[in-house]
Amino acid sequence: MDIFKKVYEFKTANEARALGIYPYFHALESMQDIEVQMEGKRKIMIGSNNYLGLTGDPRVIEASIEATKLFGSGVSGSRFLNGTLSLHLNLEKDLADFMNKESAMVFSTGFQSNLGIVSAIAGRKDIIFCDRENHASIYDATRLSYAEMIRYKHNDMDDLERLLKDADPKKGKVIVTDGVFSMSGDIAELPAIVKLAKEYGARVMVDDAHGIGVIGPNGRGTAAYFDLEDDVDLIMGTFSKSLASLGGFLVADEAIVDYVRHHARSFIFSAAITPANAAAAKTALDIIKAEPERVQALLDISAYMRKQLLNRGLKIIDSSITPIIPIYTYTPMRTLVACKMLFDRGVYVNPVIPPAVPEGQCLIRTSYTSTHTKALMDEAADIIADVLNTIPESEEAVMMELMKNG
């Protein structure tokens, strides 16, 4: 059989393009902000992870430029060899201090962070307990580790305890969970996870990509939010969200970090982040420490938008305080049509369809920035409500409307 058979049989994207509802790869023509230029037109951006609005901050941009002038455009090697800069070391020290951990290490991306951390810590004789709604990078990291993966129902502590109780006591165990879940926006049941981990001899790792800069004192994330920083063994974060750059990191005890440094293949065999990325992340971190009001502004504007959506009769996942607010659209076709109509009317959102969610539970994922204004939120909420009220609920009716309108 030709290995490309699956390639030639893949029709989904072209079918969506033919119907004019393909939602991906829209090109930005301006910097990431609360309003952007996209394909020649103004869009209200509520589909970004620029939670604290720092991607376009002049201080972050200037730091990036100055680092490039001083160190060049790249590092030309991995951290193991010639790729370690004083910038990386200073950033790691600041991250460890900010997160109240002994040590930190920086990876080239958030995805590579999870790949490296999990596959270094866990092996064939270990078990990884994984929340079913964890990020895809955690699933891939688990496969790379060759450890046994046991999935527990999302945020279901009874299910997790049952699985821990049944696990082989001779095997090493780690519970890995998102801190803030990227699709639903809800927060991990971390106090219960920590309690179970202690009871059953497991370690705890939190992927806090969507928690750092978002919740907890000064935006230190989920562990700080629950006052459990000393009880969580490994915390992973990214720079591509609140920290306005590109890269990822681990904070933990020095012995753990040093072990991961010497065993994580995605760290050892990847070039280090560029000087510009490192300087941008460090400056963004400095701003977060100096301006904690940004975190509260983010929570305030998110609460305001949550109220506006509910007041307009929209069905949302309303289980959290976070800036991720998913809106139910139920079926894939209705979701894609809604995203297309919203885009045409100047609102950028993200579609969430199977396999990212179960059948019948499709969503529009919206996410907010601390610098969003109430006026922009009112405008966006009005457009969203108007669009969703005009689209039929059944898949067949949506399809008929599409065909009729050519």
Phi-psi label, residue 201: left if phi above 0, alpha if psi -120 to 50, beta otherwise: left
CB 390, CB 52: distance < 8 Å: no
Per-residue pLDDT of 67-108, as tens digits, reads 999 999 999 999 999 999 999 999 999 999 999 999 999 999
Per-residue pLDDT of 31-68, as tens digits, reads 999 999 999 999 999 999 999 999 999 999 999 999 99
Domain at 5-51+292-404, CATH class: alpha beta
| Domain residue limits, the chain | 5-51+292-404, 58-290
**H or E, element range at 259:** helix 254-261
Residues forming the active site: 182, 210, 241
Q: Residue 406 pLDDT > 60, yes or no?
A: no
CATH topology for 58-290 is Aspartate Aminotransferase; domain 2 (3.40.640)
What is the model's pLDDT at position 396? 63
Going along 258-392, which residue ranges are E strands? 324-330, 347-348, 350-352, 362-367
How far apart are the C-alpha atoms of 330 and 196, rounded to whole Å?
A: 35
Residue 312 corresponds to which amino acid? R
* pLDDT tier at 399, thresholds 50, 70, 90: low
What is the model's pLDDT at position 402? 60
pTM of the model: 0.95
CB 52, CB 33: distance < 8 Å: no
* pLDDT tier at 319, thresholds 50, 70, 90: confident
